[in-house]
Amino acid sequence: TQLLEQSPQFLSIQEGENLTVYCNSSSVFSSLQWYRQEPGEGPVLLVTVVTGGEVKKLKRLTFQFGDARKDSSLHITAAQPGDTGLYLCAGARDGNNRKLIWGLGTSLAVNP
């Protein structure tokens, strides 16, 4: 059973376009993290969202945590080739020994 569903699984867009990636669950998380992984490297943490309804911005990336803390979205404005990579969401639950529940990822390709 996949507790965190990510959509779309694959996305190929042109430079300058906007996109949104979704991370959904039927379970409540105490916090949710977004990571980006480039080919040949390990995932790198982009952001952690903690409060329901929270919105965080990181340059052209906007992250939102759902009010019920069951889902999250990542919106990229004016995508650039450097945004290419695998975007992973991971949810945390209190008392879970610092174990994260991982989504399967969204593979994004931004073409110049």
**For binding to other proteins (CB under 8 A), which residues are involved?**
6, 31, 33, 40-45, 48, 86, 88, 90, 92, 97-100, 102-105, 107
> For residues 90 and 101, is the Cβ–Cβ distance under 8 A?
yes
Nearer of residues 16 and 73 to other proteins, judged by Cβ: 73
Q: How far is the CB of 53 from other proteins (least distance, A)?
A: 20
Q: How far is the CB of 86 from other proteins (least distance, A)?
A: 7
Q: How far is the CB of 38 from other proteins (least distance, A)?
A: 10
> For residues 35 and 46, is the Cβ–Cβ distance under 8 A?
yes
What order do you get walking across the sheet with 71-76 strand by strand?
A: 5-7, 19-24, 71-76, 61-65, 55-58
Nearer of residues 9 and 18 to other proteins, judged by Cβ: 9
Cβ atoms within 10 Å, residue 35 = 20
Nearer of residues 14 and 97 to other proteins, judged by Cβ: 97
- CB-based burial of residue 24 (10 Å sphere; 0-12 exposed, 13-18 middle, 19+ buried)? middle
Q: How far is the CB of 105 from other proteins (least distance, A)?
A: 5
